[in-house]
Amino acid sequence: MKRRNFIQKTALSVAGFGLAPLIGNSYQSVYGATAPSNKVKVALIGCRGMGYSDLSTFLKYPEVECIALCDVDDEWLNKRAADVEKATGKKVKNLYKDWRKVIENKDVDVVIIGTPDHWHCLPTIYACQAGKDVYVEKPLSNTIEECELMLKAARKYDRVVQVGQWQRSDPHWNEAAAFIREGNIGRVRTVKVWAYQSGKPTLPVKPDSPVPPGVDYDMWLGPAPKRPFNIYRFHYNFRFFWDYAGGLMSDWGVHLLDYALEGMGVGLPSKVFSGGGKFAYPNDAMETPDTLMAIYAYDDFNIVWDHACGIDHGLFDRREALAFYGENGTLVLDRGGWEVIPEYSGKEARMEAVPLKKGEGKGLYNHVGNFLDCMKSRNRPAADIEIGSRVAILSHLANISCRVGREVRWDEANHLFVNDPEATALSKAVYRAPWKLPQF
Ligand SMILES: NC(=O)c1ccc[n+]([C@@H]2O[C@H](COP(=O)([O-])OP(=O)(O)OC[C@H]3O[C@@H](n4cnc5c(N)ncnc54)[C@H](O)[C@@H]3O)[C@@H](O)[C@H]2O)c1
């Protein structure tokens, strides 16, 4: 057996049965080495929603070829196979229901992971181990423990891992963050960050039902606890259930809070207090809070997160955005662009207003392009896994504070909660057998 096959087969058995730790070193990416056409050969795991938006964007780059699709739901697997064929004129060679086949396929250079959050970790780690580069959706994963392990794997196997926080590649976000860091709005005391989303309305309680034909539901659950099938805990709506995701806090939080950190030039805070609950829809099916506010306390400023499901009127008439409150002006930033509203001393403005500077609206396209460039240069991508890990942990800290009902203290140097077994327990990934979190 050739060395590469051996490693792949071993990795697969590890992934499948979770009995052994990760082994050995990965081989280098095969990108460009084996393909006469020098195509970047991409596979998508998780085809329905954002995963397909990502793949469609990859396919806008002529060097990309999709050689495999994987989904546990035949309906979406077949639909996306037809979509890719229509878009490219070529049939996708490999259709899988088990993601381990993607890892096993030695022709795959890049794995795009568009599965629900609880299924980001293992495919990322095993793809890294198999020498593939990874484009994984945000939030990086569903627990603090997984975030840290994924980062370790990416570094250990020296892989390029881009997280789907595509604002990182939309130039107006970095422009606004630099404007703040250069001191243009003066000293900032408060950063407000919010997501008010009528598009995430109440989820009525629906009875459990039989698994739809063509769905491998056990594989959809994967490492999450066994539960009967329910249409409101499945596609898209998984976001509102703790076993699979972290609600609006981690769904939108990671996109926006990333730029709160970036604008302020800081890492994780040591103190977090968060309060919230099912204030709008106390009796609906959602587990995660429909309303939540979190204070991230730093030495001389606060970052305040505020979310609401089912209503749209966020501050400054924006559904989701950030506002940096400086002594000279307030900078408001969202996907549409950024502007500064000056403060006044009497009738005199403390700084010139900055009228709305519109974004280019090409964030996702640029983000994929940046990833493809980094595959070649081996540089760290715009939303490198360390960036994705940091902000996913930031959002988990607020969810954990809300769940334990009090302030939590985070020791960033040692990556742990301070004297807090209850919060620590919620930071861990508890996997259902045979799935097992690799340790290395
Ligand atoms: N970057 C962004 O702007 C953005 C936008 C939306 C969603 N997302 C992220 O994308 C991810 C997916 O969200 P969505 O709304 O597209 O979800 P979705 O439910 O629409 O799609 C997930 C797909 O993954 C499949 N799947 C589940 N488990 C699988 C497994 N083990 N193997 C193979 N396929 C599996 C499902 O069948 C489904 O087709 C989430 O992490 C979400 O936070 C990112």
d(CA 19, CA 323): 48
Specify the residue with its C-alpha closest to ligand 1, atom 33.
71
CB of 333 closer than 8 Å to CB of 202: no
pLDDT tens figures, 178-233:
999 999 999 999 999 999 999 999 999 999 999 999 999 999 999 999 999 999 99
pLDDT tens figures, 156-185:
999 999 999 999 999 999 999 999 999 999
pLDDT confidence band for 38 (50 / 70 / 90):
confident
pLDDT of 166: 98
DSSP code at position 438: -
Burial 1-33 (b: 16+ CB within 10 A, else e): eeeeeebbeebbebbeebeeebeeebeebbbee
pLDDT of 53: 98
Asked if the model's pLDDT at residue 137 lies above 80, the reply is: yes
Q: Measure 315 CA to ligand 1 centroid, in angstroms.
A: 29
Specify the residue with its C-alpha closest to ligand 1, atom 16.
49
Asked if the model's pLDDT at residue 23 lies above 60, the reply is: no
pLDDT confidence band for 389 (50 / 70 / 90):
very high
pLDDT confidence band for 439 (50 / 70 / 90):
confident
Range with lowest mean pLDDT among 26-35, 201-210, 266-275, 412-421: 26-35
pTM of the model: 0.94
pLDDT confidence band for 440 (50 / 70 / 90):
confident
pLDDT of 307: 98
Instruction: Work out the average pLDDT over 351-371.
Output: 97
> Around 198, how many Cα atoms within 13 Å sit in the side-chain half-sphere?
6
Q: Measure 124 CA to ligand 1 centroid, in angstroms.
A: 14
Ligand 1 atom closest to the Cα of residue 237 is: 19
Find the radius of gyration of the CA atoms of the chain.
22
Ligand 1 atom closest to the Cα of residue 117 is: 41
3 state SS of 345:
strand
CB of 38 closer than 8 Å to CB of 32: yes
Closest C-alpha to 342, from 205, 232, 185: 185
pLDDT of 229: 98
Instruction: Work out the average pLDDT over 414-439.
Output: 97
Angle between helices 3-17 and 121-129 (to 10 degrees): 160
Asked if the model's pLDDT at residue 413 lies above 50, the reply is: yes
Taking all residues of the chain, what is their mean pLDDT, rounded to a whole number? Answer: 93
Ligand 1 atom closest to the Cα of residue 52 is: 16
pLDDT of 25: 34
* Start-to-end CA span in the chain (Å): 26
Give, for ligand 1, the residue of 44, 45, 47, 48 to mutate: max count of ligand atoms closer than 8 Å to Cβ: 48
pLDDT of 37: 59
Range with lowest mean pLDDT among 29-38, 69-78, 243-252, 336-345: 29-38
Residues in the chain: 440
Instruction: Work out the average pLDDT over 127-148.
Output: 98
d(CA 323, CA 314): 11
Ligand 1 atom closest to the Cα of residue 98 is: 32
CB of 260 closer than 8 Å to CB of 173: no
Residues with CB under 6 A from ligand 1: 45-51, 70-73, 76, 99, 114-117, 119, 137-138, 164, 166, 219-220, 222, 235-236, 251
| High-pLDDT (> 70) share of the chain, % | 92
219 CB-near residues (< 8 Å, 6+ apart): 72, 97, 98
